[in-house]
Amino acid sequence: MKNRDSLDDLAIFHTVVREGGFRAASRRLGLAPSKVSTTVARMEAELGVPLLRRTTRSVSTTDAGRTLAERIGPLLEGLDAARAEAAEGADRVTGRLKLNVPGAVMPDMLPPLLAAFHARHPDVEVEIVVENGIVDIVAAGCDAGIRYEDILAQDMISVPVGPRMQQIALAAAPAYLDAHGTPTAPHDLIEHQAIRYRLPDGRLLPWQLVEDGGTIAVEPIPRLVLGVNAINTGLGFARAGIGIIATFRNWLEADFTRGDLVPILPEHWPARTGPRLYYPNRHAPRPLRAFIELCLDHPAS
C-alpha cells in the first residue's frame, strides 16, 4: 500500500470490522458505502489476500483480516489518544464513549446520568452494549463497563456509579396474595410461587434474606423463569399476579405507592453495594475521563 494512503485505508478497514459491515462503517465515517467498499477491495488487491468474507447479509474477517485488525487496533487507538492529548487544553470534549453495562442499570439509573452527561458534553457520542455476564471490556472494544463489585476483575480501576447501596425487595400483586396468602416469615416462601431470573451460567439468581443478624437462602417455587437479560420485564408479570418477585427496591417504589404491588417481608430485605464503573488503566480517553468526573460529582443515595 502506498504510504500516503495506508493510514486512512487501515482506519477505514478497522471501522468496517468494528462496526460489522460496510454501511455501518460508512455512517460512522461519513463516507459513501462505495468508497468504503472500494478502499477495502484495493487493500486486498495490494496485499494479495482477502481480508473480509462478504455475504448478502453479513461481513466477517478472514484469518488474515482478523490478524490485521488486531494488530492495527492499538495503533489507531494510540493515534486517537494522541489527538485527544493534543486537544487537552480545549474546553470542549468530543469523541465517542462506549459502555458495557448490565440490564439492571438500564431502567432508572443510566437515563438521568447520561442526560446530565450529554448536557455537560453534548459533542460526545455514547454507545451502550447491554450484557450481564463477566466481560473483558478491552476485547469487547468498550471504554468502560458497569458491574457489581462481586464480579469485578481484580486488575481494573473502579469508581462508584449510581446508588452507593441498593436494597433487594420482595413484592407481589394483591391478587396473588388474595389467592395464596401472605408470607409472614422467610421459610414460608418455599410454599410460594415466584418469578425467578436465570444467570448466563445457567444458575437461578439466588434469593437471600436477612434473619437473626445473618443471611439465609430461600428457594421458592419457580413459577416463571426469565433470563437476566430481561430483568426489567419481571415487574409486568408480577403485576399480573403470576408470583412473588425479588428485585431492586427502587424499581418497586412507584408500584408500592399505587398499590399495584405489596411489600413482602420488608424487615428481611438484604442490602448490597451499588454498581461501579470500571476501566483498565488510568490513561483513559477524554470522553471516559469526563464521564468518570460526572459519576464522582453526582453521588446517588
Helix (H) or strand (E) holding 225: strand 221-227
Among 74-78, 160-164, 201-205, 247-251, the minimum mean pLDDT is found in: 74-78
Instruction: Give per-residue pLDDT as tens, 212-271.
Output: 989 999 999 999 999 887 777 899 999 999 999 999 998 999 999 999 999 999 999 999
Both 19 and 108 in a single domain?
no
How many other C-beta atoms can be found within 10 angstroms of the C-beta atom of residue 264?
22
Owning domain of residue 170: 165-273
The more confident residue out of 163 and 176 is 176
The more confident residue out of 182 and 20 is 182
Q: What is the CB-side half-sphere exposure of residue 126 using CA atoms within 13 A?
A: 23
> Which grid coordinates belong to 30?
461519513
Both 20 and 78 in a single domain?
yes
Query: What is the sign of the dihedral through the CA atoms of 19, 124, 279 and 86?
Result: positive
Q: What Å distances lie between residue 115 and 110, 122, 283, 287, 298, CA to CA?
A: 8, 10, 25, 15, 12
- pLDDT at residue 296 tops 90: no
Whole-number Å distance between alpha carbons of 117 and 290 = 8
Both 75 and 51 in a single domain?
yes
Across 88-111, average pLDDT? 82
Across 70-92, average pLDDT? 72
> Which grid coordinates belong to 215?
443471611
Instruction: Give per-residue pLDDT as tens, 180-192.
Output: 999 999 999 999 9
Total domain count, the chain: 3
Q: Which of 26, 46, 24 is nearest to 36 (CA)?
A: 26
- pLDDT at residue 99 tops 90: yes
CATH code (residue 11): 1.10.10.10
